Amino acid sequence: MHALVARLYPLCRSITGDGVRATLGILAEHLDLDVHEVPTGTQVLDWAVPKEWNVRDAYVMDADGARVVDFRRSNLHVVGYSVPVSATMTLAELRPHLHTLPERPGLVPYRTAYYAETWGFCLSQSTLDGLGEGPYKVVIDSTLADGHLTYAEHVVRGRTTDEVLISCHTCHPSLANDNLAGLAVATALASRLERPRLTYRFVFAPGTIGAITWLARNRERVSRIRHGLTLACAGDRGPLTYKRSRRGDAGIDRVMAHVLRERPHTITDFSPYGYDERQYCSPGFDLPVGSLTRTPYAGYPEYHTSGDDLDLVSPESMADTLEALWSAVEVLEGDGRYLNLSPYGEPQLGRRGLYGSIGGRSDTKQAQMAMLWVLNLSDGAHCLLDVADRSGLPFRAVAEAAQALEAAGLLKREGA
> Residue 96 to residues 91, 99, 143, 222: CA-CA distances in angstroms?
9, 8, 22, 44
pLDDT at 363 over 80: no
pLDDT the model gives residue 416: 58
pLDDT at 410 over 90: yes
Provide the percentage of residues in the chain whose pLDDT is more than 90: 92
pLDDT the model gives residue 237: 97
CA-based nearest residue to 123, from 100, 106, 144, 93: 100
Contacts of 101 (CB under 8 A, 6+ apart): 107, 108, 109, 124, 125, 305
Amino acid (1-letter code) at residue 388: A
- 172 marked ligand binding residue: yes
Q: How far apart are CA 140 and CA 406, in angstroms?
A: 67
Provide the percentage of residues in the chain whose pLDDT is more than 70: 98
- 97 marked ligand binding residue: no
Q: How far apart are CA 67 and CA 374, in angstroms?
A: 68
The overall average pLDDT reported for the chain is: 95
- Give the β-pairing of 67-70 and 289-293: unpaired
167-217 confidence digits (pLDDT tens): 999 999 999 999 999 999 999 999 999 999 999 999 999 999 999 999 999
Domains and CATH numbers, the chain: 2-50+148-333 (3.40.630.10), 52-145 (3.50.30.90), 336-414 (1.10.10.10)
pLDDT at 361 over 60: no
Query: Is the model's pTM score more than 0.75?
Result: yes
Confidence of residue 412 (pLDDT cuts 50, 70, 90): very high
- DSSP code at position 114: T
Contacts of 297 (CB under 8 A, 6+ apart): 232, 233, 273, 274, 275, 303
Per the DSSP assignment, residues forming a β-bridge with 145 are: 52
- Residue 359, Cβ neighbours under 10 Å: how many? 10
Confidence of residue 362 (pLDDT cuts 50, 70, 90): low
- 382 marked ligand binding residue: no
